[in-house]
Amino acid sequence: MSTDTNLPTATAEAQESYVVTEGKKRGSTREVRTEAAYDRYYTVLRVHAGDAILTDNWHTNEVLNHARNNFEGVTFAMRTLEAWGAMFENDRRAYYTAGGRIWVMDLEPCEGKKKRLPGTGAVKK
């Protein structure tokens, strides 16, 4: 049995991870995707059902209203949306599961954190 000392050695790449401090899985450790490793910000323009046909009932309406009130018009870091369970399709669309349904988030990339867009979110009386 001989060993070949000319074989290239594989260098182990450091796998980045971070502890989730917000969202559904507080305290859990998540891997950081390459795209999410840096501060990338997105404004959620709209939350909707996409092509899904929704049942018009109390539960569906409550979940949709909750998602709209808490996401629409707000700028988030990519990591924050992923920590909350959003799956990015591309820079303009992400999918978010809530209430047993998949909701579509229409996104707009932006330079940094911005104020909430006017006319979005919960209506204050």
pTM to 2 decimal places: 0.66
Residue 69 has, within 13 A of its CA and on its CB side, a CA count of 9
Question: Considering the domain boundaries, does residue 65 fall inside one?
Answer: yes
* pLDDT score of 81: 87
The arithmetic mean of pLDDT across residues 14-26, rounded, is 53
- At 12 the three-state DSSP class reads coil
Other Cβ atoms less than 10 A from the Cβ of 72: the count is 21
Beta bridge pairs of residue 90 = 93
- At 81 the three-state DSSP class reads helix
Question: Considering the domain boundaries, does residue 85 fall inside one?
Answer: yes
pLDDT greater than 80 at residue 62: yes
Question: Considering the domain boundaries, does residue 28 fall inside one?
Answer: no
* One-character DSSP codes across 20-74: --SSTTTT-EEEPPGGGSS--EEEEEEEE-TT-----SHHHHHHHHHHHHHHTT-
Question: Considering the domain boundaries, does residue 58 fall inside one?
Answer: yes
Question: Considering the domain boundaries, does residue 82 fall inside one?
Answer: yes
Of all residues in the chain, the percent with pLDDT exceeding 70 is 66
pLDDT (tens digit, 9 = 90+) per residue, 31-56? 556 666 467 899 999 999 988 888 88
Q: Please give the residue range of the domain that contains residue 90.
A: 39-110
Band (pLDDT 50/70/90 cuts) for residue 15 is very low
pLDDT greater than 50 at residue 14: no
The arithmetic mean of pLDDT across residues 7-17, rounded, is 48
> What whole-number distance in Å separates Cα of residue 104 and Cα of residue 49?
6
* pLDDT score of 39: 75
β-pairing verdict for 93-98 and 101-110: antiparallel
How many structural domains compose the chain? 1
